[in-house]
């Protein structure tokens, strides 16, 4: 049971059209292994028959399983924390000063994977942003992968995911449930709303509006150039005027779009939607 | 030489499909305007792949596929079903009728070529 060149190229195109994610040739082994596993799990004897099954299955549940298999990204708490520092050291204060009383500050973590990023933001704000005293902050975590969202809601994390988390923070916000596993306290888990969304599907992203800050880290690097530009336009539409985007450290907005103004907050580059 | 039959009642769509597929190597393209004409041609001549529109007068795409699949000599010819939308019901009917692959209109030239190349490769 294997995947031939034509099947790989066809699948890459099919998957890219639906998700924006483009697998370079060097991802061939990664893709083949996951396709083969799904072929076996669904009892298909050839890749072609499996691909036929995926495209005709009206419920799309097998396509979602493929998405889940192809989009797992390992992450950890307080990754690239210089961006969190930027958040509490300028960005949030700037957003807050434009808010009328009673208006909430809305933060979108997209993609949120298994929840480390939105939870890190929540904890970091509680610990380090004095503005929390009189601000209402809403954090939404979204991902295309339904399995990581289930895991995020569950709130169970290993030592490995907490490798950059100070022990005092682990003690304060987590309950140890086994030698290597910790469960985030319910008050933090319940503070984040998790939703499934495909950034490449305008029907799904249409309702995502009125955000002040978007964390979109290490997603656009997996997109082809057209999907990347469309995704950035989607983020632009999702933001309030004056809102900010944080990208991953290796990503640059200037190569994708000129919609945003680039500036520096603490040690981080941030992209602002013009007021 | 691989032979492809384009089955669509629209002259424009057939022209469009032909213009896209002629860039594939070693491919010869024939046309049929409806299911009945396609069935007659497929019985009389050898084809390696069919590109079949769903909605056609006289005999629609689903009926054509069921007719092909009921004939031992034709049951395994790869056939791409072309629908106007990704409607669940269309997908279900196309699958049940025996479509190999599915494309929705308006089809992207590159994806059409890729799908045809994949299905032609399998028959080699």
Contact state of B91 with A58 under an 8 Å Cβ cutoff = yes
B30 DSSP assignment: E
Q: Are residues A102 and A172 in the same domain?
A: yes
Q: The tokens of A118 are what?
A: 């939105």
Q: Are residues A140 and A17 in the same domain?
A: no
Q: Is residue B97 part of a domain?
A: yes
Q: Does the structure's ipTM exceed the value 0.90?
A: no
- How far apart CA A238 and CA A212 sit, in angstroms, is 9
pLDDT per position as a tens digit, B26-43 = 999 999 999 999 999 999
Domain that holds residue A11: 5-70
CATH number at residue B40: 3.40.50.2300
Contact state of B117 with A6 under an 8 Å Cβ cutoff = yes
Mutate to test the interface with B, among A55, A61, A62 (most CBs of B within 10 A): A55
* Chain A nearest CA to B93, separation (Å): 9
Q: Is residue B114 part of a domain?
A: no
pLDDT of residue A200 exceeding 80, the answer is: yes
Contact state of B118 with A48 under an 8 Å Cβ cutoff = yes
pLDDT of residue B124 exceeding 70, the answer is: no
Mutate to test the interface with B, among A9, A11, A15, A56 (most CBs of B within 10 A): A56
Q: The tokens of A154 are what?
A: 């569950």
- How far apart CA A29 and CA B39 sit, in angstroms, is 42
Chain B residues touching A9 at Cβ < 8 A: 114, 118
Name the residue facing B102 among A7, A56, A59 (closest C-beta): A56
Q: Tell whether the torsion through CA atoms of B98, B103, B104 and B107 is positive or negative.
A: negative
Q: How many other CB atoms are there within 10 angstroms of residue B22's CB atom? A: 11
Q: Is residue B123 part of a domain?
A: no
Helix (H) or strand (E) holding A214: strand A211-216
Contact status of A7 with chain B (Cβ, < 8 Å): yes
Q: Are A174 and A185 in contact (CB under 8 A)?
A: yes
- How far apart CA B98 and CA B82 sit, in angstroms, is 13
Q: Are residues A111 and A156 in the same domain?
A: yes
Contact state of A58 with B88 under an 8 Å Cβ cutoff = yes
Chain A residues touching B122 at Cβ < 8 A: 48
Q: Are residues A122 and A29 in the same domain?
A: no
Contact state of A48 with B122 under an 8 Å Cβ cutoff = yes
Cross-strand partners of B102: B81
Choose one of A34, A49, A70: the last residue of a domain: A70
Name the pTM for this structure: 0.88
Chain A residues touching B88 at Cβ < 8 A: 58-59
Q: Are A145 and A68 in contact (CB under 8 A)?
A: yes
Contact state of B121 with A52 under an 8 Å Cβ cutoff = no
pLDDT per position as a tens digit, A80-117 = 999 999 999 999 999 999 999 889 999 999 999 999 99
Looking at the structure of chain A, the number of domains it has is 2
Scanning A33-62 for CB atoms below 8 A from B yields 48, 51-52, 55-59
Q: What is the mean pLDDT of residues A213-220?
A: 96
- How far apart CA A1 and CA A15 sit, in angstroms, is 20
B79 DSSP assignment: E
Provide the mean pLDDT of chain A: 95
Q: What is the mean pLDDT of residues A34-48?
A: 94
Choose one of A70, A95, A124: the last residue of a domain: A70
- How far apart CA A68 and CA A148 sit, in angstroms, is 8
Q: Are residues A144 and A200 in the same domain?
A: yes
- Residue-by-residue DSSP string for A138-167: EEEEEES-HHHHHHHHHTEEETTTTTTS-H
Q: The tokens of A27 are what?
A: 């991802």
Q: Is residue A76 part of a domain?
A: no
pLDDT per position as a tens digit, A167-192 = 999 999 999 999 999 999 999 999 99
* Residue (of A271, A241, A223, A218) closest to A110 by Cα position: A218
Chain B residues touching A17 at Cβ < 8 A: 108, 111
CATH number at residue A63: 1.10.155
Q: Is residue B56 part of a domain?
A: yes
Q: List strand residue ranges (DSSP E) for B34-105, in order.
A: 49-53, 79-83, 101-104
Q: Is residue B122 part of a domain?
A: no
Q: Are residues A12 and A93 in the same domain?
A: no
Q: Are residues A15 and A36 in the same domain?
A: yes
CATH number at residue A111: 3.40.50.150
pLDDT per position as a tens digit, B79-115 = 999 988 777 888 888 989 999 999 988 888 999 999 9
Q: Is residue B59 part of a domain?
A: yes
- How far apart CA A228 and CA A254 sit, in angstroms, is 12
Chain B residues touching A51 at Cβ < 8 A: 101, 118
Q: Name the residue with tokens 């002040």.
A: A212
Coil vs helix vs strand at B4: strand
Contact state of B114 with A55 under an 8 Å Cβ cutoff = no
Q: Are residues A55 and A86 in the same domain?
A: no
B95 contacts: CB under 8 Å, gap ≥ 6: A56
Contact status of A209 with chain B (Cβ, < 8 Å): no
pLDDT of residue B123 exceeding 70, the answer is: no
Q: Are residues A210 and A115 in the same domain?
A: yes
Q: Is residue A75 part of a domain?
A: no
Q: Is residue A104 part of a domain?
A: yes
Contact state of B101 with A55 under an 8 Å Cβ cutoff = yes
Q: Are A183 and A151 in contact (CB under 8 A)?
A: no
pLDDT per position as a tens digit, A135-150 = 999 999 999 999 999 9
Q: Is residue B118 part of a domain?
A: no
Q: Are A182 and A154 in contact (CB under 8 A)?
A: no
Q: Is residue B124 part of a domain?
A: no
Q: Are residues A196 and A148 in the same domain?
A: yes
Name the residue facing B100 among A7, A52, A59 (closest C-beta): A52
Q: How far apart are the first and last CA of chain B?
A: 11
pLDDT per position as a tens digit, B3-28 = 999 999 999 999 999 999 999 989 99
Looking at the structure of chain B, the number of domains it has is 1
Cβ-in-10-Å burial (0-12, 13-18, 19+) of A107 comes to buried
Q: Are B84 and B8 in contact (CB under 8 A)?
A: no
Q: Are residues A60 and A87 in the same domain?
A: no
Domain that holds residue B81: 2-109
Q: Are residues A20 and A108 in the same domain?
A: no
Diameter of chain B by CA atoms? 36
* Residue (of A208, A274, A217) closest to A73 by Cα position: A217
- How far apart CA B93 and CA B15 sit, in angstroms, is 26
């Amino acid at each position: 049971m294997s995947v031939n060149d034509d099947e790989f190229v066809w699948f890459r195109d099919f998957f890219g059209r639906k998700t924006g994610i483009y697998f370079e040739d060097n991802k061939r082994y990664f893709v083949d292994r996951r396709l083969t596993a799904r072929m076996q799990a669904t009892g298909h004897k050839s890749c072609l028959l499996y691909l036929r099954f995926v495209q005709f299955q009206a419920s799309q549940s097998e396509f979602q399983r493929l998405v889940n298999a192809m989009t797992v990204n390992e992450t950890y708490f307080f990754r690239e924390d210089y961006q969190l520092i930027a958040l509490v050291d300028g960005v949030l204060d700037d957003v807050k000063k434009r808010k009328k009383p009673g208006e909430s500050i809305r933060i979108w973590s997209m993609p949120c994977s298994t929840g480390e990023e939105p939870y890190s933001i929540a904890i970091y704000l509680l610990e380090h942003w004095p503005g929390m005293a009189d601000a209402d902050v809403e954090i939404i975590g979204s991902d295309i992968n339904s399995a990581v969202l289930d895991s995020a809601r569950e709130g169970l994390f290993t030592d490995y995911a907490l490798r950059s988390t100070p022990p005092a923070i682990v003690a304060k916000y987590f309950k140890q449930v086994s030698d290597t596993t910790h469960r985030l306290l319910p008050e933090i888990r319940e503070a984040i709303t998790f939703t499934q969304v495909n950034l490449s599907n305008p029907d799904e992203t249409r309702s995502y509006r009125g955000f002040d800050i978007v964390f979109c880290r290490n997603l656009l690097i997996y997109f082809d150039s057209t999907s990347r530009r469309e995704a950035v336009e989607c983020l632009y539409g999702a933001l309030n005027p004056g809102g900010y985007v944080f990208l991953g450290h290796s990503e640059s907005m200037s190569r994708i779009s000129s919609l945003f103004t680039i500036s520096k907050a603490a040690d981080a580059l941030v992209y602002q939607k013009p007021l | 030489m691989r032979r492809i039959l384009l089955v669509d009642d629209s002259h424009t769509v057939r022209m469009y499909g032909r213009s896209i597929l002629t860039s594939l190597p070693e491919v010869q393209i024939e046309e049929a305007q409806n299911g009945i004409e396609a069935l007659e041609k497929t019985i009389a001549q050898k084809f390696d792949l069919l590109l079949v529109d769903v909605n056609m007068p006289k005999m629609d795409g689903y009926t054509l596929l069921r007719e092909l699949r009921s004939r031992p000599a034709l049951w395994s010819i790869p056939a791409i079903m072309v629908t106007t939308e990704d409607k669940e019901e269309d997908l279900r009917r196309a699958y049940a009728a025996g479509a190999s692959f599915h494309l929705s209109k308006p089809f992207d030239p590159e994806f059409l070529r890729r799908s045809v190349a994949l299905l032609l490769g399998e028959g080699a």
